[in-house]
Amino acid sequence: MSNTNATRTSTAELQQLAAAGRWHVVETVAKSKAGHIGGPLSAMDLLVSLYFNELAIDPQQPQDPARDRFILSKGHCAIGLYAVLALRGYFPLEELATFDQGGSRLQGHPDMKLTPGVDSSSGSLGQGLSAGAGIAMAAKQLGAGFHTWVMLGDGELEEGMVWEAVHTARRFKLDNLTAIIDLNGLQQYGWPVTEDGDRFDRSNPWAGVDLEGVFDGFGWNVVSINGHEFNEIQAAFDQVRAARCSGKPTVILAKTTKGKGISFAEGTYKWHNGVATPEQLAIAAAELGQAFEGEAK
Ligand SMILES: Cc1ncc(C[n+]2csc(CCOP(=O)(O)OP(=O)(O)O)c2C)c(N)n1
Ligand SMILES: [Mg+2]
């Protein structure tokens, strides 16, 4: 199976898609009155690049055994994935309005049994790379040529299970597996709990750590990029393809900004999750170049 994008999506088109995706995130969460903002927005440029230029997929055949697999291990960012799946044609954009409601196919965290295009359920942080390694190992054993991609958060990277998968993937030479780390420098809470109940240290969980050296030491190919620069993202994908016979998995360390694209959400833990007011929606719409009638649809 080959990518069904006959022509490459241009950078200008990717920018428009990412802006639309960001708008769908913030508007949908406002409508459902609960959901995550910062993580979906930091990942959006990577997600549209994957779904519009890289993954060998066919939205009309979401269960095709030959398709590339994508696992959103940081499952709390589901609305970002749903927005991109809808833009890519897996289901109608109007369905986003059902997000997080009982009976909806679009639950607050991805459910592979419900949503077309979701290859693995997620939400309990730390598990996606192990699932991806298992899929990649099965592909090797079956002689299947598809590639498996996993996106993780930098807070999520603190989970011990991730490092078991990092070790295993190299040991079994899973060069058909790629991890993308969304290095937005923020998670949800920090530690320890202060007297007033705040969990205050929300600083970059990996400050002072040489992550490139760590992954290199585990025997992975390491590619570091700005996760908002489409040409750098594409160059990283090209390096993944070039490493397909290297016997090494690849990690893309993508430096990003949490809340990217909406001024009041950028670079703050306060918009890890949150519901925008009509006034904030108007600001977001203007900044993202989207039409807004005055209230969430
Ligand atoms: C095992 C587990 N522990 C805690 C949570 C609650 N939780 C949801 S999001 C989050 C922070 C994640 O931060 P990060 O991985 O950096 O994601 P991003 O910044 O991309 O939103 C936490 C602790 C969870 N979903 N799973
Ligand atoms: Mg983070």
Ligand closest to CA 190: 1
- 1 pLDDT tier (thresholds 50, 70, 90): very low
Q: Is the peptide bond before 192 cis (omega within 30 degrees of 0)?
A: yes
Q: Which residue's CA is the closest to the ligand 1 atom numbered 25?
A: 124
| CA pair distance 41, 87, nearest whole angstrom | 15
Ligand closest to CA 271: 1
SS3 85: helix
Which amino acid, one-letter code, is at 198?
D
Residues with CB under 5 Å of ion ligand 2 are 153-155, 184, 186-187
SS3 136: helix
Which amino acid, one-letter code, is at 258?
K
Q: Which residue's CA is the closest to the ligand 1 atom numbered 17?
A: 153
Closest approach atom of ligand 1 to CA 43: 20
Pocket of ligand 1 (CB under 6 A): 38-39, 42, 74, 76-77, 123-126, 153-156, 182, 184, 186-188, 258, 272
Ligand closest to CA 76: 1
pLDDT score of 238: 97
Q: Stretch 123-134: mean pLDDT, rounded?
A: 98
Q: What is the pTM of this model?
A: 0.96
- pLDDT for 4 beyond 60: no
pLDDT score of 190: 67
| CA pair distance 196, 140, nearest whole angstrom | 52
Total Cβ atoms within 10 A of residue 34: 12
Q: Which residues of 185-213 are buried (b: 16+ CB within 10 A; e: fewer)?
A: bbbbebeeeeeeeeeeebeebbeeeebee
pLDDT score of 58: 98
- 47 pLDDT tier (thresholds 50, 70, 90): very high
Q: Which residue's CA is the closest to the ligand 1 atom numbered 20?
A: 39
Q: Which residue's CA is the closest to the ligand 1 atom numbered 13?
A: 187
Q: Which residue's CA is the closest to the ligand 1 atom numbered 3?
A: 125
The structure tokens listed for 222 are: 């390491």
SS3 203: coil
| CA pair distance 266, 284, nearest whole angstrom | 11
| CA pair distance 89, 256, nearest whole angstrom | 26
CATH top-level class of 13-288: alpha beta
Give bridge partners of residue 71 from the DSSP assignment: 150
Backbone φ and ψ of 193, nearest 5° = -80, 130
| CA pair distance 211, 9, nearest whole angstrom | 31
Residues 6 or more apart from 271 whose CB is under 8 A from it?
37, 38, 258, 259, 262, 264, 265
Domain boundaries, the chain: 13-288
- 12 pLDDT tier (thresholds 50, 70, 90): very high
